[in-house]
């Protein structure tokens, strides 16, 4: 096997250091596959891990990258054969096991999703964890009876990877989408994804009362903190709130009143350990009826492995719009 490369994160006396090194994934053990990686994508969590600004890795050293798509290169798992196209998101990549920012990765086969028909390997990582997470939020809102008739759905952190896909999927499914974004300059981008209104978080005129007037049929939130606390108070009866992210804070200032006087549901989104049956169902939708026509608009950047550390720094600065895909293969 050819010598490959990986972005490896090491523990230092103070903090961590990420560097590109010669690296080949080990031969697969029983029940495992080695994947020749073709694409990965950058997520907020990758930016935290690579810049060392967040504690993502739970052991050292590890290869960074919480998702990857590629082709099976060697298999010791039933039902997987050399040449099969596959994708992986979450499941401990770059936390407790080597991740996807490498030219090869060895993983247990029960963590691996076969590439669904209707998606290319590049599209799988154009979605990546961000697209999968937006899809998972959609799936949980639909389980809870979300319907366009309930009213507009607010999406926060709108220009990020998850936010962009949430807007595009909701819009594709006929929802009126209000994008909540700090970036006034991204208004055309957000309208292009299907948002009918773009609002700055500071312009959301929602007060501090436990219940404010009902305005949103639902919320897909990537920011947390004060913004999410305000939005929950303005969700209509039997609307739903999907809590995904913490880019703006982890604390909520809420009462139970939206839940018990309006029947509002808050659903948590945990993409890492999402059970395989739901995972497969979400990927099937992402490859077919939820696949946005605007996918190419959402991928704003394609880079190689060497450019990942700088791109992660941009991401931490919050200056990025859309998704960055990382080319790992030929
Ligand atoms: N629960 C899960 O399973 C799961 C899975 C994936 C991601 N996440 C979380 O979801 C969030 C979004 O992930 P992503 O990959 O889409 O990240 P991303 O591409 O970096 O997007 C994050 C967006 O949040 C907004 N933002 C960034 N910093 C902020 C701050 N300090 N205050 C308020 N808003 C801020 C920005 O949008 P605007 O400039 O448009 O406001 C930014 O584009 C992250 O918190 C991530 O950890 C959770």
Q: Based on the fold, state whether residues 314 and 251 are members of the same structural domain.
A: no
Q: Based on the fold, state whether residues 63 and 19 are members of the same structural domain.
A: yes
Say yes or no to pLDDT of 2 above 90. Answer: no
Could you tell me what percent of the chain has a pLDDT over 90?
Answer: 95
Mean pLDDT within 115-130: 98
Q: What is the pLDDT of residues 64-107, one digit of tens each?
A: 999 999 999 999 999 999 999 999 999 999 999 999 999 999 99
Counting ligand 1 atoms within 8 A of each CB, the residue from 245, 268, 279, 326 with the most, and so the one to mutate, is 245
The pLDDT assigned to 330 comes to 76
Mean pLDDT within 194-215: 95
Tell how far the Cα of 161 is from the centroid of ligand 1, in angstroms. 7
Domain count, the chain: 2
Tell how far the Cα of 221 is from the centroid of ligand 1, in angstroms. 9
> For the chain, what is the mean pLDDT?
96
Q: Based on the fold, state whether residues 138 and 107 are members of the same structural domain.
A: no
Tell how far the Cα of 185 is from the centroid of ligand 1, in angstroms. 17
Question: Is 286 part of any domain?
Answer: no
Q: What is the pLDDT of residues 284-324, one digit of tens each?
A: 999 999 999 999 999 999 999 999 999 999 999 988 899 99
Say yes or no to pLDDT of 1 above 70. Answer: no
**What is the pLDDT confidence band of residue 198, given thresholds at 50, 70 and 90?**
very high
Task: Tell me the two tokens of residue 86.
Answer: 């596959």
* Residue of 189, 190, 186, 188 lying closest to 177 (CA atoms): 190
Domain that holds residue 82: 5-115+294-327
Q: Based on the fold, state whether residues 139 and 259 are members of the same structural domain.
A: yes
Say yes or no to pLDDT of 218 above 90. Answer: yes
The pLDDT assigned to 318 comes to 82
Q: Based on the fold, state whether residues 301 and 204 are members of the same structural domain.
A: no
Q: Based on the fold, state whether residues 236 and 153 are members of the same structural domain.
A: yes
* Residue of 278, 288, 285 lying closest to 118 (CA atoms): 288
Tell how far the Cα of 160 is from the centroid of ligand 1, in angstroms. 6
Question: Is 93 part of any domain?
Answer: yes
Q: What is the pLDDT of residues 14-56, one digit of tens each?
A: 899 999 999 999 999 999 999 999 999 999 999 999 999 999 9
Question: Is 299 part of any domain?
Answer: yes
- Say if ligand 1 is within 6 A of residue 270 CB: yes
What CATH number should be reported for the domain holding residue 29? 3.90.180.10
Residue nearest to atom 46 of ligand 1 (CA): 245
Q: Based on the fold, state whether residues 171 and 221 are members of the same structural domain.
A: yes
The pLDDT assigned to 3 comes to 80
Cβ atoms of 321 and 183 closer than 8 Å: yes
Q: Based on the fold, state whether residues 180 and 243 are members of the same structural domain.
A: yes
Question: Is 125 part of any domain?
Answer: no
Rounded to the nearest 10 degrees, the angle between the axes of helix 276-287 and helix 121-143 is 110
Q: What is the pLDDT of residues 222-240, one digit of tens each?
A: 999 999 999 999 999 999 9
Q: Based on the fold, state whether residues 201 and 104 are members of the same structural domain.
A: no
Q: Based on the fold, state whether residues 139 and 228 are members of the same structural domain.
A: yes
- Say if ligand 1 is within 6 A of residue 128 CB: no
Q: Based on the fold, state whether residues 32 and 100 are members of the same structural domain.
A: yes
The pLDDT assigned to 164 comes to 97
Of the two residues 1 and 37, the one the predictor is more confident about is 37
């Amino acid at each position: 096997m050819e010598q490959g490369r990986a972005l490896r994160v090491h523990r230092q006396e103070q903090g961590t250091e990420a560097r590109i090194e010669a690296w080949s994934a080990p031969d697969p053990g029983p029940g495992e596959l080695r994947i020749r990686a073709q694409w990965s994508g950058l997520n907020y969590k990758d930016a935290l891990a690579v810049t060392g600004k967040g504690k993502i890795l739970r052991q050292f050293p590890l290869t960074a990258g919480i998702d990857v798509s590629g082709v099976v290169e060697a298999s010791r798992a039933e039902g997987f054969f050399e040449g099969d196209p596959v994708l992986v998101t979450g499941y401990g990549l770059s936390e407790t096991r080597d991740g996807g920012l490498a030219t090869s990765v060895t993983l247990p086969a029960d963590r691996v999703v076969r590439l669904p028909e209707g998606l290319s390997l590049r599209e799988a990582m154009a979605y990546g964890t961000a697209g999968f997470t937006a899809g998972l939020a959609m799936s949980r809102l639909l389980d809870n009876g979300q319907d366009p008739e309930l009213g507009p759905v607010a999406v926060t952190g709108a220009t990020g990877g998850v936010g962009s896909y949430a807007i595009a999927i909701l819009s594709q499914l006929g929802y009126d989408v209000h994008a909540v974004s700090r970036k006034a300059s991204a208004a055309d981008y957000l309208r292009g994804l299907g948002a009918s209104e773009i609002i700055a978080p500071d312009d959301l005129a929602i007060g501090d009362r436990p219940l404010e007037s009902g305005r949103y049929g639902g919320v897909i939130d990537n920011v947390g903190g004060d913004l999410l606390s305000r939005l929950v108070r303005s969700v209509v009866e039997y609307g739903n709130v999907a809590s995904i992210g913490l880019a703006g804070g982890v604390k909520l200032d809420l009462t139970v009143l939206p839940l018990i006087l309006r029947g509002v549901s808050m659903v948590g989104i945990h993409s890492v350990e999402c059970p395989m049956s739901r995972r497969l169902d979400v990927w099937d939708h992402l490859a077919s009826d939820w696949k946005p026509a605007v996918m190419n608009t959402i991928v704003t950047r394609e880079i190689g492995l060497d450019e990942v550390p700088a791109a992660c720094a941009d991401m931490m600065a919050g200056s990025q719009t859309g998704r960055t895909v990382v080319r790992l293969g030929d």
